Amino acid sequence: MINDGLGVKGRISEIFESIQGEGVYQGIRQLFIRFYGCNLTCKFCDTRLKSYQEYDLDRLIKKINSFKGKYHSLCLTGGEPLLQVDFLKELLPKLKIRIYLETNGTLSKELNKVIDMIEIVSMDIKLPSSTGLKGLWNEHKKFLKSALKKEVFVKTVICSSTELRDLKEAVRLIKNFNKDIPFILQPNSFEIKRELIKKLIDFQEYSINYLSSVRIIPQINKFLKLR
């Protein structure tokens, strides 16, 4: 997000139409805005953004309106869209489409500024043994508390390195809010093999003892070679 004295501008890497490849809304038709920049560096990241264009509100709205498809929703993805929350605060009230936020689930203060303008939150829980980063449990707890004001589901990437103790902590965090929150186990697309599939099944078997909706869902956009 940039403010050059002429108004807030957003850093946008790409705008495109496709199907949703992840989570409980997999397969729906969406318009995507990919925001540049992220506050995390997960080792499994499949979206290393290297460039962006600056958009002011009028230019971005005109671009959005140039797409004529029938979409379920507008997906804000990244990167991490909430890093540009001041731009989102200006943009979202001007849009007449359902808003679907994809987020790493760590920026609760920023979410609180726009939650009333969002319909669906796809929230990640970043397991430290998957990401190679420190645990973000407190950040995720605060974020999920705010996200529950709207429809929310949680997904987490499972890698060959993922440890059961981290999964247990994620399950505990979700259950303490609401056992009916959908929980998605998403295999790392770079590592899909027999050993990882077994781990996913084992993790699901553990999780369904505590949560009512636990699904194993890979990224279908990867299989279909879509963005």
Copy the structure tokens of residue 129: 């043994």
Q: Is the pTM of this model over 0.85?
A: yes
pLDDT of residue 6: 53
Domain that holds residue 123: 2-223
pLDDT of residue 5: 44
pLDDT of residue 212: 98
Distances (CA, A) of 96 to 10, 61, 75, 118: 19, 11, 13, 12
Q: By C-alpha distance, which of 7, 24, 135, 4 is closest to 72?
A: 24
The tokens 């194993």 sit on which residue?
216
- The CATH number of residue 185's host domain is 3.20.20.70
Number of domains within the chain: 1
Dihedral pair phi/psi, residue 31, rounded to 5°:
-100, 135
The rounded average pLDDT for each run of 10 residues, N- to C-terminus, in the chain (227 residues) is: 66 97 97 96 86 97 96 97 98 97 98 98 98 96 98 98 98 98 96 95 98 97 87
